[in-house]
Structure 1
Amino acid sequence: MAHSVELLLDPESESWVVGIWAALSAAGLPSQGAIRSGTNRPHVTLVAAEHISPEVDTSLASILPADPLRLGLTSVVVFGGKRATIALGVVMTDALMSVHREVAAATTPHATRVFHHARPGDWTPHVTIARRVPGDRIGEVLGTIGVVGDGVTVAPQRDATAVALRRWDSDTRTDVVFGG
């Protein structure tokens, strides 16, 4: 299983993303909303690894800056091929990269096998909308969330704020939230 350290969104932005999940579910399409765990929330993964020890918690508690960390949720990105992940991109800012580097530095000594896509330099910040989307259904997902349709492409955009960090433990299906 995978463990992670994530940024959580402000309530309004979280609600907006959950609305996208609901629209996909209502259309019978893959959606993160299909995950029925009480800890399932929109987030930006900063670090993902095979295992992250709770020993990192003291360090994580002090990382999120006192000033709000602004996040720009922007155009849709598609990762993968036959089974794709569809997500909202997050604008890469100096402040976001700084938090990512700090979380990676704090977490790495307490982690087993940090996944390459979460390492500084290889990381693409995003908020997942749907996973395991068959290639032939990607267009339906994009149409449902209003990205494509009738020959028009519209990129969803929203200013959001990171209000907390959390460490997700997939083995125990629990999370520890810092801040917010």
Structure 2
Amino acid sequence: MLRLHADVHGAAGEDEDLPHTAAGDWTPHVTLARRVRLADIAAVLPLIGGEIRARAGRLRRWDKRSATVTDLGGFDGRNENAGVPGDDDPVNAS
């Protein structure tokens, strides 16, 4: 995830990112569940299991300031050496 993030960040170019979103300062994470009530955490945690292996197929950017999500586009995540979308499916940050 760190390599993918650095590649996407580099391809997107300079912007007014928050310091913790810059390549090297970002904490990789995935959403495993949404809207789990605090009272249900103990019951949900064992469901996560061990290591999770996955490939990204679509990127989006959360902007906390405006509380909006920007779809950055999809790509073929099957190539383990590819960090960013190919020429046939470029990142669309607009």
TM-score scaled by length of structure 1: 0.30
Flag the structure with higher strand content.
Answer: 1
Higher relative contact order (CA 8 A, sep 6+): 1
**Structure possessing the higher radius of gyration over alpha carbons:** 1
Flag the structure with higher helix content.
Answer: 1
TM-score scaled by length of structure 2: 0.48
